Amino acid sequence: MKKRNLFIAFVCALLITPFSHAQSLEKFDVTDAWKEKIEKLAPAKTTFPTKKKHKILLFSLFTGFNHWVVPHTAAMVEILGQKSGAFEVVPSNDIAIFEKNNLKQFDAVVLNNNCSINPRRDLFYDKLSENKSLSEAEATAKAKELEENLLNFVKKGGGLMALHGGIVMQNKSAEFSEMMGGSFDYHPTQQPLTVRLADPDSPMLEAFNGEGFTHVDEAYMFNVAYAKQNFHPLLYINTSEIKGLKGENPEPKKYISWIKRYGKGHVFYASPSHNAQSYTEHPALLKFFLDGMQYVVGDVKVDESPLSSNGQ
């Protein structure tokens, strides 16, 4: 009987093992202890030489879906800047920071899960529409102006880094999608994702030592400008491994991180980061994001040729 019970226990253990990781995905608040852990895991210095300390705007406002990881991502970016000594990170949740004169002080903008609300999916309009002294036409015009300020900031040489839901900020704007490299379409339920390197030789992927990783995340699917694939891919997932995709998916790969040029500026997008646990379980992500910050401010010279032009 004892042997039989041991066998049953062993089988049960095997059955629950694939789901045990989900237990570690419980939400938790940012604490000093957690920040100390990130501080220890973060790179002590930048990967690439830098000639000056860059000033970065960290924008964490959202009007739509509240990703619980927002404060963790904000803390992580600030720690990367402080520990490396390469960045002065200025946090803000005020859309007035996107006025032309305010943007001029920054070398780059980091968008932290700035999900907007349906049906417009325009974060600037969402906030402006709260001001009852503005007519809808005035709110719409001002929202367009602030978006244009961001577009022109990047066109003229500013950097833009967007993490996870940051791509949703102006999700129905064709111009924003063109700059970003795509727009958010949907995602299946969270599940273990095997993330692979699209360009293993790129210095931008040095953090991963030639190997991908597996973590629990949302498999973001993209549309609008994404179809042009006018970006240089960094990370991807195999669609055949994803559960819950809508309809047929002819693309064997779905790119979830890339770099691209927009005018004179540099853009870096990375979807992996829905759960704060990924930052501590895969410290390589911290180096990857720090390298991304360096890329958008122009410290990194790498192959950024678009996928659409090299026949892949």
- C-alpha distance across the termini of the chain, in Å: 59
Rounded percentage of the chain residues whose pLDDT exceeds 70: 91
CB atoms within 10 A of CB 19: 9
CA pair distance 285, 153, nearest whole angstrom: 27
Beta strands in the chain (DSSP E): 54-59, 87-92, 108-112, 159-163, 183-186, 191-197, 213-217, 221-223, 232-238, 253-262, 265-270
For tokens 């491994």, the residue is: 241
Among 186, 168, 156, 54, which Cα is nearest to 111's? Answer: 168
Mean pLDDT of the chain: 91
Domains (ranges, CATH) in the chain? 29-309 (3.40.50.880)
How confident is the model over 271-293, as pLDDT tens digits?
Answer: 999 999 999 999 999 999 999 99
CB atoms within 10 A of CB 282: 18
How confident is the model over 2-14, as pLDDT tens digits?
Answer: 444 443 333 333 3
Residue 97 token pair: 């920071």
How confident is the model over 114-160, as pLDDT tens digits?
Answer: 999 989 999 999 999 999 999 999 999 999 999 999 999 999 999 99
CA pair distance 24, 129, nearest whole angstrom: 39
